[in-house]
Structure 1
């Protein structure tokens, strides 16, 4: 029976397709006019970092990606976004009733920007060298559910996502290797690669150095503003370049979700990547569904501005 708490959960057929392909959607969360207005307001609020959990000036200045992390922990609109039932019902129908949102990120792409290279993420150790999430039972394969929401239109010309369906069950990269950060890799004018990875060359992690992704199987995931897609982080994914046919940027906002049994930032007190380091003293994962029956992750119940996080009842 469909209840108020589970009305957006994936159907049996949708779950079957998700497990086969590694993704589901797009789904509509906001109407285009609504998200245009809300995002216009939010962009201005994000300039105020006084309540952000990561305050290290060297790490969050200069465009480093760490500056984009976890603004749901201080901004009300983003705090409500990651707990929307349209998202959490679908996530819980895949992961089970007890779910954490352990990270959020912005993914802007400006006119003329290059595409993002093919990549997968399992433990998210690829940049820092240390696992950022660990599934229970000694599992060496897990990943996270990524919910990528288009805050603006995301067309092929503007740099929408690409997936290679069915690749989420096999890792083609070894995250125990460590990529080397070079900001010039993200700048084609300075000799960067056509599709880099925010200052890294993901090819450094390939298990087989001669392997190349089968791009003939790739599908482009165009979305209009206000839509979102759910996919495993282990699914091979990339993005097109922004061709600059419009002066508008493409903005994606991502929430990352795992069961409460997963350990988040185990045995570490900092995030080190993209040439920066930020401490985790003020960090907390958000319980978006069910109960935390494990107790091994720090949980944030309110934003740093004291706005409560909504939780999906089971």
Structure 2
């Protein structure tokens, strides 16, 4: 039996990741395979009978929350988050014991505004309650986000933008709370670019209300379908508007990873965002590498290839 390939980052690549805040793009799927897989998956996701946040999300109108964590009920997405091409590279930075704690979709349709510049450390930006908590005294914060293009992601179609090296300074105070007002915060003209943040105005969290990101340093991360990029969530990032020069949508799928030492949704029994609330009763993080010796997070286990993940309580509970 052939040994599995090692996709770990080299020491030089790890150093560059810590310097710049991102690495990639890397190729995971051939473009045609990625497009076909997404076309099939897009239809299958319409069946929400096994989704972790299903009826309550629909009732609350929390459409953004309802697309969270579909890896817990869809086999293709469950395989995706555990792919060695992703996990080995993430473990190169976080260490051998790694959890995937959230996934979500980021679509952009023709004519959609760009996503505003932002950073996320504790992910308390919408509710005011931290969603992840690193051990006290840690040098790091945030999460490693692996953003995979399931379709083409050109600048015209709304690809990601990064400002390299901004991940070690937080320009936003996540202890503040943004106000959800989609009627006011959609497609706001910001220095000549239509930008929004899913119904919020991220500028409400600025530590210095007069500060602006230095967009002269921004780089556009164009990707082919099937490629992914990994970056610290504390890195200043945004996306271009979809210019509508093609009728094709841009679809990104983000998987978020932390070491097992990080507490996920500490003290919380629900997620409150986007004008809605969903229960965490059926939620579980997925151990994608190593072992969990801390036992302070609920994990989800997959019994067969085609069976959804099922949560189990933290060790000792």
TM beyond 0.5: yes
Q: Could you tell me whether the CA contact under 8 Å between 1:59 and 1:66 is conserved in 2? A: no
Change (3 A) 1:60 1:233: farther
Q: Map 1:253-272 to 2 at 5 A.
A: 253-272=253-272
User: Structure 1 residues 123 and 61 mapped into 2: Cα distance closer, same or farther (>3 Å)?
Assistant: same
1:87 alignment counterpart: 86
Query: Deviation string for 1:133-166 (max 9, x for gaps)?
Result: 0001255950000000000000000000000000
CA contact (8 A) 2:62 2:273 kept: no
Q: CA deviation at 1:176?
A: 0.2
Residue aligning to 2:178 = 179
Segments of 5+ residues of structure 1 without an aligned counterpart are 310-314
RMSD of aligned C-alpha atoms?
A: 2.0
Deviations along 1:88-143, one digit per CA (max 9) or x if unpaired, are 00000010000000000000000000000000000000001100000012559500
* 1:108-187 equivalences in 2 (<5 Å): 108-137=107-136, 139=138, 142-187=141-186
1:249 aligns with 2:241: no
Q: Tell me, in whole angstroms, the C-alpha distance in 1 between the residues paired with 2:149 and 2:266.
A: 31
4+ aligned runs moved over 3 Å, structure 1 = 3-6, 56-63, 138-141, 185-188
In the alignment, the residues of structure 2 paired with residue 60 and residue 240 of structure 1 have an alpha-carbon distance, to the nearest angstrom, of 31
Return the TM-score normalized by structure 1.
0.93
The answer on whether the counterparts of 1:132 and 1:264 sit within 8 Å (CA) in structure 2 is yes
Matched residue SS, 1:255? strand
- Contact kept in structure 2, 1:131 and 1:265, CA below 8 Å: yes
Number of equivalences: 305
Q: 2:286 is matched with which residue?
A: 286
Instruction: Tell me by how many angstroms 1:209 deviates.
Output: 0.4
CA shift for structure 1 position 269: 0.4
Matches within 5 A, 1:32-51: 32-51=31-50
Does the CA-based 8 Å contact 1:99-1:260 persist in structure 2? yes
**Per-residue deviation, 1:302:** 1.6
Which residue matches 2:229? 229
Task: Spell out, residue by residue over 1:193-228, the C-alpha distance to the aligned partner (whole angstroms, 9 max, x if none).
Answer: 621110000000000001000000000000000000
- Report the TM-score when normalising by structure 2: 0.92
C-alpha separation between the residues in 1 aligned to 2:93 and 2:138? Answer: 18
1:196-211 equivalences in 2 (<5 Å) = 196-211=196-211
Q: SS at 1:37's partner residue?
A: helix
CA separation of 1:267/1:138 partners in 2, compared to 1, >3 Å: closer, same or farther?
A: farther
Change in CA separation of 1:140 and 1:134 when aligned onto 2, cut-off 3 Å: farther
| 1:261 to 1:5, Cα distance in 2 relative to 1, 3 A | farther
Q: Is the 8 A contact 1:133 1:263 kept in 2?
A: yes
The 3 A distance-change label for structure 1 pair 39 and 235 is same
Report deviation, 1:61.
Answer: 6.9
- Counterpart residue number, 2:28: 29
The structural deviation recorded for 1:84 is 0.2
Q: Paired residue for 1:312?
A: none
Question: Within 2, Cα distance between the matches of 1:112 and 1:19?
Answer: 35
Do the aligned partners of residues 197 and 234 (structure 1) sit closer, same or farther apart at CA in structure 2, a change above 3 Å counting? same
Helix, strand or coil for the counterpart of 1:209?
coil
Q: Is the 8 A contact 2:62 2:277 kept in 1?
A: no
> Are the structure 2 counterparts of residues 296 and 5 from structure 1 closer, same or farther at C-alpha, using a change threshold of 3 Å?
farther
